[in-house]
A and B are shown apart, each in its own frame.
Chain A
Amino acid sequence: MRQRSLIAITAALAAGALTLTACGSRDGGDKNGSGSGSGGTTVTIGVDAPLTGDLSAMGLGIKNSADLAAKNANKKNYVKGVTFKIEALDDQAQPSAGQQNATKLVADKNVLGVVGPLNSSVAESMQKVFDDAKLVEVSPANTGPSLTQGPDWQNKKVRQYKSYFRTATTDAIQGPFAAQYVYNDAKKQKVFVIDDKKTYGAGLAATFTEEFKKLGGKVVGTEHINPDTKDFSAVATKVKKSGADVVYYGGEYPQAGPLSKQIKAAGAKIPLVGGDGINDATYGKLAGPDSTGDLATSVGAPVETLPSAKQFVADYKAAGYKDEYSAYGGYSYDSAWAIIEAVKKVVDDNGGKLPSDARAKVTEAMQNVSFDGVTGKVSFDEYGDATNKQLTVYAVKNGAFTPVKSGTFTG
């Protein structure tokens, strides 16, 4: 009798323990998994960005964010049998350096995709090199419309390269969005337009100007600056004399910051407005305290409204990178992850191994990639452009850009 009772008690205790243990371990299987990929194949994701020079704040954010994506994929063993690594090259924002980097990345057979570049002008020099090698390229930052839709994109869109994709919204939307905000919300009607003559800056200034004029606004002056100089006093004087109530600048923050400061110093206390190229923490430092009220449009929604972006920010901080992720961090992570998703698709379709024509297959797979990324839903349209087209207006407040208004393109 006593033995039977003991057996019953033991069984009951064991059953209870097992039940509770099973409940407790749910979803915890990966917790102690390897932090690195266990695969035998190493796939390299190339990164091209300005890692030195004026634009390195953005470039290093691109590099680190792509690195974080590779590390997370390895930690999760996301593509079985494959370990990802990053090969980052510095283009110094120069098209010629970008083209050399493209050639170097093509020569490395382990490279199955490239994240970058930052500058549209650099992208123009790289696209054909990658396309000839069927090596996929996903830019987190290029906004020049012609890169995907061709030089006559306003009249007839024609895709240029099947290997080129981007996660950033184009200036075909960003420029008009800025013009609508400046004219209708900020109530500015006389603009002085300045650009740096580069593909990005001149293109953005053009799309802004066209929309601003359509709305009924007046362009009271235009100027081009030399991005190699920091003395804009002559242009600042012209702005003051023009009677403009706003300045639009197509270009990047290393020039935009001093330009804003010198315009205000010349006596024109009017806001400078720019695009995503000036949306960096460095801008406020370069432009000084009078830059309060300056505006920048940028691609995407504010980080604090995206739960997925919050996770990215936490992961980035935990990874201990020295540099900020900057304006394109989330887009760079998503660009790298798009490559990882494409590699996964190719490996899964080939019985768990990379095929001999992996580059071509990855490029092909990229067209149908779709996932919930840091910046929202990531997928590409027939031109290779991001289908997620969100934009935000930021204003300088206490020396930093803070979100003012967001928009979504649904046309």
Chain B
Amino acid sequence: MTGVGPLEPGEGTRAWDAPDPADAPVPGPRSWRPPRLPDRHRRTVLAAAALAALLAGSGYLYATRERQPPPPAPPFPAQVVDVSYLDPAVTPAGAPPGSFSFAVLVSVDSGPPVTVTRISQPYAGLSVTSEPRPPFRTEAGSARKIVVTMHVTECGIVPENAGLPFLDVTLRNVRAMQVQSFILGPRYAQALTEGLRGACGNDSR
């Protein structure tokens, strides 16, 4: 025989039969099996695990959510308040001689309520009161009619005339307190000039 063929296994050299995989122990953790619990306990454990997983997932998502920008700060009061001239008004009873009155409208466009804490004007020889008296508060989206009364205290020094006089109004809201000059326009200028002339006379200077 020159041919190479399978040798007959010698004694003691016979290969062992492979063991049945079903009977072999599986290495590692797969070999562990939880102790078998009663169905009632098993459901409780699973529910608790599910709840924990849900809470953990929710917490993670909440912690990594996109943050909303903080709400914008309230506007400065002067940016939302309008003071406009309306018309001449009846001077309140009890006002001293040399007084004259007119009405203005104070309106608040938006934002938190605004309180008017003071109304004044910069002319020498002239004082101002108003009805209602400051402080008074106005809500956003509403307007309030104010009767302003000017009283000439010294005709010799009060300005004779003006093109664009203004009222100084002190405004306060939760953001800030500001003094804003409201230039009420030509109708106010005319009313002021006429009021001053009426109070002082044309040749009283």
Interface residues of A (CB under 8 A from B): 1-2, 5, 8-9, 12-13, 16-17, 20-21, 23-28, 31, 173, 176-177, 180, 183-185, 210-211, 214-216, 301, 305-307, 376, 389, 405-411
Within the complex, what minimum Cβ distance (angstroms) separates A156 from chain B?
14
- CB of B79 within 8 A of CB of A376, answer yes
Additional A-B contacts beyond A26-B68, A410-B184 (17; CB < 8 A): A5-B50, A13-B53, A16-B61, A23-B65, A27-B68, A173-B164, A176-B164, A180-B165, A211-B163, A215-B160, A215-B161, A306-B76, A408-B183, A410-B82, A410-B83, A410-B183, A411-B85
Interchain Cβ contacts under 8 Å between A and B, 24 examples = A20-B61, A23-B65, A180-B165, A180-B166, A184-B122, A184-B159, A185-B122, A214-B162, A215-B160, A215-B162, A301-B78, A305-B176, A389-B183, A405-B181, A406-B78, A406-B178, A407-B180, A408-B78, A409-B164, A409-B185, A410-B83, A411-B85, A411-B183, A411-B188
- CB of A180 within 8 A of CB of B43, answer no
Residue of A nearest to B105 (CB): A410
| Partner pick for B57 among A13, A28, A211, A410, CB 8 A cutoff | A13
Residues of A within 8 A of B186 (CB): 411
CA distance A337 to B159 in the complex (A): 43
CA distance A180 to B79 in the complex (A): 22
A13-B54, A301-B78 known; A184-B163 Cβ under 8 A: no
Residues of B within 8 A of A376 (CB): 79
Within the complex, what minimum Cβ distance (angstroms) separates B190 from chain A?
11
Residue of A nearest to B84 (CB): A410
Residues of A within 8 A of B46 (CB): 2, 5, 9
Within the complex, what minimum Cβ distance (angstroms) separates A85 from chain B?
30
Residues of B within 8 A of A307 (CB): 72-73, 75
- CB of B54 within 8 A of CB of A210, answer no
- CB of B54 within 8 A of CB of A411, answer no
Residues of A within 8 A of B61 (CB): 16-17, 20-21, 24
Size category of the B interface is 35 or more
Give a binary string over B31-56; 1 marks a CB under 8 Å from any A CB, 0 the rest. Answer: 00000000100110011011001100
Within the complex, what minimum Cβ distance (angstroms) separates B52 from chain A?
11
- CB of B58 within 8 A of CB of A16, answer yes
CA distance A8 to B64 in the complex (A): 25
Residues of B within 8 A of A409 (CB): 164, 183, 185
Within the complex, what minimum Cβ distance (angstroms) separates A212 from chain B?
10
Within the complex, what minimum Cβ distance (angstroms) separates B24 from chain A?
26
Residues of A within 8 A of B42 (CB): 2
Interface centre among B47, B182, B183, B185 (most CB of A within 10 A): B183
B16 at the interface (CB under 8 A from A): no
Residues of B within 8 A of A31 (CB): 66
Q: Using a CB-CB cutoff of 8 Å, which residues 76-91 of chain B contact chain A?
A: 76, 78-79, 82-85
CA distance A5 to B164 in the complex (A): 80
| Partner pick for A408 among B85, B165, B180, CB 8 A cutoff | B180
